[in-house]
Copies of this chain bind each other. A is one copy, B any other.
Amino acid sequence: MSRAIVLGVDVGGTNVKAALVAKDGRVVASVSYSTEAEAGPEAFAKTLHHRLENLLKEAGLHKADVASVGIGLPAFLDVPKGIIEQAVNLHWTDVPIVDLVTAELDLPVMIDNDANLAALGEVWKGAGKNAKSALCVTLGTGVGGGIVLDGRVYRGVTTMAGEIGHISIKPDGELCNCGHYGCLETLASATALVRDGVRAGLQSPRGHDEPLSAEDVFQLAESGDQAAQTVLSTMIHWLAVGLSTVANTLNPDTIVVSGGLVNAGDALLGPLRVEFSRAALHRVANGCRIVAAELGSSAGMLGAARLAWQFADSEA
């Protein structure tokens, strides 16, 4: 008898989101709890086991119903070996996470990085539905991304594919954390928007003592502040240049934009689409739609569930 459910797990620096997910994407039961990374990976595995048992009880299911487990991690991974090489925010290094969790749960386990699984989630059930070739880019503190081809994560050889935050598009630009200059992340993240806003003398409309936020810059621009409009359009210009560089290489049919900045909606996506169609080759721009992510913070968990289903099907 085929098993009815998988466990999808999205591990963040602060919280873990876990859910039992059916093959059609239906979330049967879900939970969010504190990561407590400082307790170490063995404790993480034990807690996950405990949470899984609670979820199964809640759903009226048994462990024998679980086909497999997919886990998204904020880390550099060796996916074939099932190892976390480095998870900076968790302070974990060289952890055989697949072996650990498999031993604890006695279930097949598959891992990927969180950005890749958020991308897979959006292509499975969100804004990228039915995409043949999708680039998903997350605009937050930094710029992350993932590539999904024919419904599967494309990882590249060292799980770095789609990490487009560090493509260099302005050689005389700012120094990036990665040691290079003018990376996309230094030009088109929420961090960059706030930095340039402060430099332009913008002040939060919420009060002079409030630190300027990315939302503030959008709000000031919308209310007619010319300095804010310049800061915003400069950011969108560079984002379009970066996305066009990637799209000219990958020729995707869909770019899904996620992260906090997407809350701005068409104030971001409208001008971005215009600039992108200027910056990319015509045949590339014509074949590509740019859409806002739909799944919010559930994308990674759903992507992890999708990975688990793909893994279960490949083992079956």
Whether A128 is near chain B, meaning CB under 8 Å from some CB there, is no
CB–CB A160/B248 < 8 A: yes
What's the minimum C-beta distance from A185 to chain B, rounded to whole angstroms?
A: 11
Pick from B166, B171, B287: contact of A169, CB below 8 A. Answer: B171
Residues of B within 8 A of A196 (CB): none
Q: Is the CB of B283 within 8 A of A167?
A: no
Once the chains bind, are B149 and A241 in contact (CB under 8 Å)?
no
Chain B residues within 8 Å of A245, by CB:
167-169, 245
Partner of A284, one of B160, B249, B281, B286: B160
A163 to B250, CA, bound (A): 9
Say whether A112 faces chain B, with CB atoms less than 8 Å apart.
Answer: no
Q: Is A69 an interface residue (CB 8 A)?
A: no
Distance in Å: Cβ of A212 to nearest Cβ of chain B: 26
Nearest CB of B to A256, in Å = 15
Given contacts A166-B281, A168-B245, contact A156 B286 (CB under 8 A): no
The interface residues of chain B lying within 8 Å CB-to-CB of A157 are 132-133, 251-253, 287-288
Query: Could you tell me which residues of chain A, from 278 to 295, have a CB within 8 Å of some CB in chain B?
Result: 279, 281, 283-284, 286-288
List chain B residues, Cβ under 8 A from A162.
Answer: 249
Determine whether the beta carbon of B249 is less than 8 Å from that of A167. yes
The reply on A274 being an interface residue by CB < 8 A is no
Q: Tell whether, in the assembled complex, residue B160 and residue A283 are in contact, meaning their CB atoms are under 8 Å apart.
A: yes
Chain A 193-213 per-residue mask, 1 if CB under 8 angstroms from chain B, else 0? 000000000000000000000
A155 contacts the other chain (CB 8 A): yes
**A220 in the interface (beta carbon within 8 A):** no
Question: By the criterion CB–CB under 8 Å, are B241 and A160 in contact?
Answer: no
A88 at the interface (CB under 8 A from B): no
Which residues does chain B contribute within 8 Å of A155, judged by CB atoms? 251
A–B Cβ pairs within 8 angstroms, 28 of them: A76-B283, A149-B149, A156-B250, A157-B287, A158-B251, A158-B283, A158-B284, A160-B281, A160-B283, A160-B287, A161-B250, A161-B251, A163-B249, A163-B281, A164-B249, A166-B281, A167-B245, A168-B241, A168-B244, A169-B169, A169-B171, A170-B171, A172-B172, A178-B281, A180-B279, A246-B249, A249-B250, A250-B250
Nearest first, the 10 closest Cβ-Cβ pairs linking A and B are A156-B251, A158-B287, A157-B253, A161-B251, A160-B251, A157-B287, A167-B245, A158-B283, A160-B284, A246-B249
Residues of A within 8 A of B (CB): 76, 132-133, 147, 149, 154-164, 166-172, 178, 180, 241, 244-246, 248-253, 279, 281, 283-284, 286-288
